[in-house]
Amino acid sequence: MKLSALIPRPFPQRQPARRPLRRRAQRGVALIEALISILIFSFGVLGLIGLEARAINFSVDAEDRNRAALFASEVASTMWLSGNITAAISAANVTAWNTAVADPTKTGLPNGTIAVTAVAGTTNAADIRITWKAPQRAATEANSVLTTRVILP
């Protein structure tokens, strides 16, 4: 019998650690993770681009509404200055207003029209109706409309 077999050892001897054989199965996992993260990031960027496009459309719509309100204010001030609804809505004035509203290259609205009608039963009130349609809207969408009522004293 060997002498080393009779001497007790305080701790059992450890075996060297073996590497698992899964290393080949995990090749390319980092590349797949990177591609998936790029895909998710791309969807986020596309969402931001869509959000920016909608914000620009809302800004253009607000600008058009502002211009329509300015035209309605101009027509109302003409009525107030003349002191008479029928004199203010003469054919010459309405033609001039329609020309100004329909010219988007200056301060007009795209496809803009203006209609001024006297309110039935009164001699001192009129409705100003401005309609327009932005070029980016579909043909089936309704026109944008601004209506204002002017009542003279």
pLDDT of amino acid 24: 64
The reported pLDDT for the residue numbered 3 is 59
Q: Do the beta carbons of residue 124 and residue 153 sit within 8 Å? A: yes
**Angle, alpha carbons 44-63-65 (nearest 5°):** 115
Q: What is the pLDDT of residue 118?
A: 87
Q: Does residue 126 contact residue 118 with C-beta atoms inside 8 Å?
A: yes
Q: Which of 128, 142, 153, 33 is nearest to 73 (CA)?
A: 128
| pTM score of the predicted model | 0.66
Neighbours of 97 (CB within 10 A): 23
Q: How confident is the prediction along the chain (153 residues), in pLDDT tens digits per residue? A: 565 666 666 666 666 666 665 566 677 888 999 999 999 999 999 999 999 999 998 998 899 899 999 999 999 998 898 888 877 888 888 888 888 888 888 888 888 899 988 888 888 899 999 999 888 777 788 888 999 999 988
